Amino acid sequence: MPRLSTSLLRNAKAIDPLLPSLLRPCRTLQAAQNELRWLREHVLGDHRTRNHTAAHQASILRRLVRDRASGKPLQYILGTEFFGDLEIACRPGVLIPRQETAASITHLTHLLLTCGALPRSLRVLDLCTGTGCIPLLFRHELLSARNDTRLQLLGIDISPSALALAKHNAQRLTNDTPHISIEFLRSNILSTAPPDSLAHTLTTHSQPTTWEILISNPPYISPSAFWKSTTRSVRGFEPKLALVPPALKPGIGDTEQGDVFYSRLLAVAEEVGARVVLVEVADLEQAGRVARIVKKKNVWDGVEIWRDWPDGHEEEQGGGDEERLGCKILGSGNGRSVVFWREEGRAWLGK
């Protein structure tokens, strides 16, 4: 990481003595100023600190700025992150939802809502659900456009703290809607045998065994990328369980370990009879590898890669990526998800 210039630090200090330390995690003055404002609003507005004396509030603010300067994510300090239109509660120990994930989900629901062929009843399975942000946003987007679709949503995670938070979020963000249900269950996606396996979890909780839509943002960072390309704030404060897949066998290669979840996710997609599948990936290369396995299966009718902003102008083509990966690539930004479908799924996506 490049060093911050002394003139930038001096400017920041002239504006507010608290700013220079925020420049470390934020890098730009504008971002640091925004964060300082949000932190200040938090201290002045939060019910726990609202009625403190100004001096007490100032000392709390100084402490929060110190926490932030040490790399603690702002979302853990403020307790929430925006995901599409939703403000999702966040806690240390559970991965913070990312804007790019929200962009993929919004685009997916947009396609489903505009296809004109969506069935009256839809089941959506989200594997590795974390805060529960994906099924909650899916529900929100669908509900704000139409009220006549029966929706059954299920989020799966291995981490009890993630499940507790997901349930908390569901309670905060949903009201009783008779034709929509949302639940969260614990299971280990990588396990194929009872009592941990997904199939077992579904049957013991009398859940359906078929799901039309499967979504997952699984851990996808390889051990070497974890050291090389994650920021200090991610590495030091977010749960590694959510980021790096386990080494399933001794001597597993670095890239292979990063890809561990995808072969399991593909198997589950077939087991539950999914018609549309969206899985998030780390970059274009991983997307290409996943797309290749999808094609080899010979059960899917189509596959494409979406970038960070799938509905954006397609500005970053050119490099011959489509030919090289043998797959259509949509939008702008980094390679972010692989989307595939079969049978009715094609019409639902308007493909």
Partner 1 sequence: MSTLPWVCRNCLSRITRPTFRRLVRYQSTGTIVASRESIPSGLLARARQIAVEHKELTDKLANDFDPRAARKVGEYGPIVDALKAWDNANKSVAELTGLIHDPETDAELRELAADDLSATRESLVDASQSLTTSLVPVHPFAHLPCLIEIRPGVGGSEAAIFAGDLLRMYQAFCNRHGIRATLLKYENVNGTQEAGLPLSEAILEVGNEGAYGMFRCEAGVHRVQRVPATETKGRVHTSAVSVLVLPSIGENSLGEEDINDPESDYYIDPKEVKLEVMRARGAGGQHVNTTESAVRLTHTPTNTVVSMQDFRSQPKNKEKAWQLLRSRVAQLRREKREEELTALRRSVVGVAKTGRGDKVRTYNWGQQRVTDHRSGTTVHDLDDVMGGGQTLEKVMDSVRTWLMEQDVQALIAEQTTEKK
* Residues at the contact surface with ligand SAM, assessed by CB under 6 A: 95, 97, 101, 128-131, 133-134, 156-159, 162, 188-190, 217-219, 241-242
Closer CB to partner 1, 85 or 343, in the complex: 85
With contact defined as beta carbons under 8 Å apart, do 142 and 151 qualify? yes
Interface map 86-125 toward partner 1 (x if CB under 8 A): -x-------xx-xxxxx-----------------------
Neighbouring-strand partners of residue 305? 329, 338
Site residues for partner 1, 291-310, by CB under 8 A, read 308-309
Q: Is 315 exposed, middle or buried (0-12, 13-18, 19+ CB in 10 A)?
A: exposed
In the list ligand SAM, partner 1, none, the entry touching 49 (Cβ below 5 to 8 angstroms by class) is none
With contact defined as beta carbons under 8 Å apart, do 329 and 305 qualify? yes
Interface map 305-334 toward partner 1 (x if CB under 8 A): ---xx--xx-------------------xx
Closer CB to ligand SAM, 162 or 291, in the complex: 162
Interface map 236-265 toward partner 1 (x if CB under 8 A): --x---xx----------------------
From the list 15-23, 159-167, 192-200, 262-270, the region that binds partner 1 by CB under 8 A is 15-23
Q: First CA to last CA across the chain, in angstroms? A: 42
With contact defined as beta carbons under 8 Å apart, do 308 and 282 qualify? no
Distance CA 348, CA 326 (A): 23
In the list ligand SAM, partner 1, none, the entry touching 129 (Cβ below 5 to 8 angstroms by class) is ligand SAM
Torsion sign (Cα): 139, 144, 145, 147: positive
Interface map 199-238 toward partner 1 (x if CB under 8 A): ------------------x-xxx---x---xxx-xx---x
Site residues for partner 1, 53-92, by CB under 8 A, read 73-75, 81-82, 84-85, 87
Closer CB to ligand SAM, 241 or 347, in the complex: 241
Minimum gap (Å) between residue 217 Cβ and ligand SAM: 4
Distance CA 303, CA 339 (A): 6
In the list ligand SAM, partner 1, none, the entry touching 348 (Cβ below 5 to 8 angstroms by class) is none
How many residues lie near partner 1 (CB under 8 A)? 55
With contact defined as beta carbons under 8 Å apart, do 310 and 349 qualify? no
| Site residues, partner 1 (CB under 8 A) | 15-16, 19, 26-27, 29-31, 33-38, 40-41, 73-75, 81-82, 84-85, 87, 95-96, 98-102, 217, 219-221, 225, 229-231, 233-234, 238, 242-243, 280-283, 308-309, 312-313, 333-334, 336
